[in-house]
Structure formats: C-alpha cells, structure tokens
Amino acid sequence: MYDFIIIGAGIIGSIIARELSKYQVKAIVLEKENDVANVQTLANSAIIHSGHNPEPNTLKAKFNVLGNKLYDELEKELNIPILHCGAFVVAHNKEEEEHLLELYENAKINNVPEFELLDYKKAVKSEPNLSKNTTKVLSLPTTKVTNPWEVAFACMENAMENGIEFQKNAEVTNIKYRDKHFIITINNQTKLESLAVINAAGVNSDDLAHMIEKDTPFYIRPRKGEYFVIDRRVKGFINHILYPLPTDAGKGVLLTPQVHGEILIGPNSLYIDDKYNKSVTFEGLDYVKKNAPALAENIPFDKIIHSFAGVRASSNIDDFYIGESKEYKRLYHLGGIDSPGLSAAPAIAKYLLEDIIKIKQSYNKKNNFNPYRKKRIEFHRLPLNEQLELIKQYPTYGNIICKCEKITEKEIVDAIHSKLGSDTIKGIKKRTRAGSGLCQGGYCEEKVMKIIARETSRSPLDTAYDSPKSKIFKAETKVEE
C-alpha cells in the first residue's frame, strides 16, 4: 500500500515528488510516456516569469511570484541551469504605454520585486537590437529562463535518491475507491493501492478525473503554441526576454534566450480540439514570423534550426485548479496548470502538501533527506586542466559523439545508466543535448543509436527514438523473408 501515488511526471508531478520525498512516505510516480517531462514540460517558452502578468489575487499571481523566488533555492540544491537574464515588456506608442502602466500597477499589486519603467534610450543600452520603434519598456529583472525538462529530471532524480519510486510507460487506465483506499490500474494490467492520489496529469488531468469522479470541477481546453528555434551561435543577439504587451490570447509572440544559447521565437496561441495535436502549421509559424519583428531589429531568421509546437493544459477556469476532490477524500487535482505553471511549480508543490494535504499532520519529516543533486558534467564547459584530469580517469570523455554540441561518449553512457536513465535517442538528447545543434542529429544520431544498442545489449533494430514502439529501422538489408 502506497501513501501517495502521483500520476504524471511533468514538471508538476516531478517537483511534488521531490517535495514529498522530504517526508516519511511510501510513494510512486506513474508516467504514461517513456520519459519524464515529455509533453507540456518539453515544449514551452522555458521562462520563469516574474509574476507581472497574472490577475491579482489569483493562485497564478500568488504562486508565480513565490515560485520565482523558490527557484533560487532549487538552483543551489539541484544544480539546475538558470539564466538570470531579466525581461522587457515592449511598448511602441502612447496607447501601448498606457497598457504598460497598467501592467506596472499589476506588478506592484502582485508584489513583483525590482521592476521599473525605462525609456527607449536607456533600454537600448542593455539591449542593442531592441526594436527602434520601442518607446518604453517595463523591465522585470527577476524574470529568468531555465531548461524545464532538466528541472523535472533534477527533481525526480532527487526524489528517487530520497526514496520515491518512479515508473515510466505506466498509463493509468482505471481508478477505483474501496475500503478507504484507491486502486489504480496501470496499462489495463497491474494494480497498485494507495491511500492518496495526486492527479498531475497535465493535459490528461480531466480525463483522469473522469475515471472516478462523476462531476469533475474543471475540464481541459488544450491550447497550442508554435515556436522557432534559432541556433545558439546567435548567442548575444538579445540579452533579455522580450515580451510584447499581453492580449486576451496570452503573452503573445516573444523572443526568449535559452540557457544553452538558442533563441526561441513564439508562440502563437490557439485553442485546439485534440489535446495530442502537436503539429506545426504554415499559419501558426507565419504568425510567429510576422509578429516577432515588433520586438527586435534584424532577427536572424536564416539561423532557424528547428520548429515545434507545444500543448498547454489550459482549462475552463481562468486560474489554476488545485484542491481535493469533492467526491473523494485524498484525491487531489492539479488542473489547468498552463502558463505560468513552470514558474509557479515550486510554490504549487509546497501549497499542495502543506496547505491542502496538510501533510505535517500525518507524516513526519525525514531526518536523512538529502536536498542536493550533483551537477551533471558538461564536459565541454570545463576548463582545460579539469578536462585533462577527467580524461585520464575516463578516456571516453575524449570521444566526441555530437560534434555540434561537443557531447562525449562518457556523457551519453552516463545518461543511459544514471538513476533516471534513458535508452532512447530522444531521452539522450534531452539529457545531454546530443543532436540539439546545427545539424539536428544528422551526424550523431547513428552514433548515439549504436551506443544505446551496445549499452543495453540490444540490436539497433530494437532501438527506439522515443516511445518503445518508435523504432528507427524497419528491417535489415537483404533479409530472407
């Protein structure tokens, strides 16, 4: 019998797992995908917002500002990458300036720290490529960028280190309540029992609730956003996140520097019927391309290496829905966690455990909780003397596999065998960045595939890109049939 089952290993599920691992509980995280952070957490702007935008007195406003602060602690404990770049909200004329003032007041009410209004002359000094049509900006220095899936990995890894179990490829197909506990069926086969269930299933959170509840308090209205990625060799083109003024449709098309140097352009925002629709469209990307130039001069569109779409778990409610089920005690929902979900995640986890679950009343804290996670070695970033030392010990650090991102064989092998290891091309890409560069895996995918096959004692024919069934090859050449 588990004390808690968490369903969903996106940023929310992972960070709750880590928070839960501070207590003396028996808990497991179930993820239907073949990896942590594979849906919403994998495809978004990666911004930890300051909290200037949400409507005052909402959960979004409260947890965004608090979550932003809590990331400083996570940065130290979990060694997650954070770019403390700050952000500018850009206004182009008197009308927009008025809107900017409203946003300024909003930031004040929400208790955002350190924000200020700057005129173009002052702003352009620290942002040379800022659009020449800019008249004023709202500067938000506490806005920062992270790598969302690395945060999820770090949290889940640390949670596992502290005793939480994790199972991937585990789709919850049924939930029943009997004799004061829940019975959860995985993949129509295995059954697990738990005293409490935390529904952190993102875009599937409403479907999951429907499995057991007659009347679910929210439903997901999936919203899709499309992006371009510009190669990291344009690093320095912008120094801040550049936002346009928000509209009803969301925060608009932004320019966002990423922790590894790329720049994201996007997203558009469109409600969609199918929550699994991750397709990019001519119209969507065209919209992004047309709107971005309002923020900066000479955007290097010729350096685009990738485009993608992400789905947000928006709901019919204008705020996050975080609370206990009205029909079942100890079933907890985290519904409608769209933007600023990433920013708010650390605060959401604390709020759920401390204020909703009131965990301290039922469980003691662990004495031996280890909050720290060792930094993953990014070999190419180390100084030469450290590289030489490490190579002596582990010669495979000398074998460059992904030449665009300079990722070594040792880093890939470590990513396969680590506590939260992966045996897929995409899993290795998410963990090491092999295949994220200019040639998008054209050169290294074959090499990564062979290393995975070797390390897992499998044929390349059984090596997958992402889900276990997404094999790369159909057959060997000239095989007798």
Partner 1 sequence: MKRDIIVIGGGASGLAAAISVKKEGKDVLLIEREERLGGILNQCIHNGFGLEVFKEEYTGPEYADIYIEEFNQLNIDYLVNTTVIKFNKIKDEFVLYTSSLAKGIQKYNAKSIIISTGCYERTRGSIIIPGDRPTGVITAGSAQRYLNIDGYMVGKRVFILGSGDIGLIMARRMYLEGAEVLGVAELMPYSNGLTRNIVQCLNDFDIPLYLSHTVTKITSDENNRLKSIVLQKVDDRFKPIEGTQKTFEVDTLLLSIGLIPDIVLLDSLDVEYDKLTKSVKVNQALETQVEGLFVAGNALQVHDLADNVSKESERAGYNAAKYVDNPKRKHKTIKLLSGENISYISPQYIDFAWPESDVICSFRSKGKIEKGLIEVIQGENKVLSKRLMYIVPAEMETFSLKIESLNENEDIIINLEAIK
Active site residues: 49
Stretch that binds partner 1, among 74-82, 109-117, 165-173, 386-394 (CB under 8 A): 386-394
Stretch that binds partner 1, among 99-107, 201-209, 263-271, 403-411 (CB under 8 A): 403-411
Q: Is 171 in the site for partner 1 (CB under 8 A)?
A: no
State how far the Cα of 353 lies from the Cα of 331, in Å rounded to an integer: 12
Tell me the closest approach of the beta carbon of residue 79 to partner 1, in angstroms.
24
Site of tokens 């409610």: 317
Q: Is 278 in the site for partner 1 (CB under 8 A)?
A: yes
Tell me the closest approach of the beta carbon of residue 162 to partner 1, in angstroms.
33
Stretch that binds partner 1, among 120-128, 169-177, 368-376, 443-451 (CB under 8 A): 443-451
For residue 196, what are the β-bridge partners? Answer: 4
Angle at 147 between CA 146 and CA 153, to 5 degrees: 120
What are 357's two structure tokens? Answer: 């679950």
Specify the DSSP class assigned to residue 82. Answer: E
Strand segments, DSSP code E, in 179-234 are 181-186, 190-199, 223-230
Stretch that binds partner 1, among 81-89, 161-169, 361-369, 395-403 (CB under 8 A): 395-403
Which residues, 326 to 345, sit near partner 1 by CB under 8 A?
Answer: none
Q: Is 465 in the site for partner 1 (CB under 8 A)?
A: yes
Among 380, 414, 421, 462, the residue binding partner 1 under the rule CB under 8 A is: 380
State how far the Cα of 336 lies from the Cα of 218, in Å rounded to an integer: 8
Cis status of the peptide bond prior to 460, with omega within 30 of 0: no
Give the containing element (helix H, strand E) for 73: helix 59-78
Among 294, 317, 356, 438, the residue binding partner 1 under the rule CB under 8 A is: 438
Tell me the closest approach of the beta carbon of residue 64 to partner 1, in angstroms.
30
Q: Are strands 82-83 and 165-167 parallel, antiparallel or unpaired?
A: unpaired
Among 121, 178, 180, 474, the residue binding partner 1 under the rule CB under 8 A is: 474
State how far the Cα of 116 lies from the Cα of 102, in Å rounded to an integer: 13
Q: Is 308 in the site for partner 1 (CB under 8 A)?
A: yes
Q: Is 377 in the site for partner 1 (CB under 8 A)?
A: no
- What is the torsional sign of CA 79, 33, 455, 473? negative
Q: Is 179 in the site for partner 1 (CB under 8 A)?
A: no
Phi, psi of 415 (to 5 degrees): -65, -30
Pick between residue 117 and residue 304 the one whose CB is nearest to partner 1. 304
Tell me the closest approach of the beta carbon of residue 336 to partner 1, in angstroms.
25
Pick between residue 25 and residue 229 the one whose CB is nearest to partner 1. 229
State how far the Cα of 333 lies from the Cα of 277, in Å rounded to an integer: 23
Q: What count of other Cβ atoms lies within 10 Å of the Cβ of residue 231?
A: 20
State how far the Cα of 21 lies from the Cα of 203, in Å rounded to an integer: 25
Stretch that binds partner 1, among 89-97, 114-122, 203-211, 302-310 (CB under 8 A): 302-310
Tell me the closest approach of the beta carbon of residue 43 to partner 1, in angstroms.
10
Binding mask 444-463 for partner 1 (x = CB under 8 A): -xx-------------xx--
Among 323, 443, 455, 462, the residue binding partner 1 under the rule CB under 8 A is: 443
Phi, psi of 168 (to 5 degrees): -95, 175
Phi, psi of 479 (to 5 degrees): -100, 140
How many residues bind partner 1 (CB under 8 A)? The answer is 54
375: left (phi over 0), alpha (psi -120 to 50) or beta: beta
Which residues, 188 to 217, sit near partner 1 by CB under 8 A?
Answer: none
Q: Among residues 31, 4, 13, which one has the least CA distance to residue 197?
A: 4
Q: Is 381 in the site for partner 1 (CB under 8 A)?
A: no
The residues that touch partner 1, with contacts defined as CB under 8 A, are 229, 233, 278-282, 285, 302, 304-308, 380, 384, 387-388, 391-392, 395-400, 403-404, 406, 408-409, 438-443, 445-446, 460-461, 465-467, 469-478
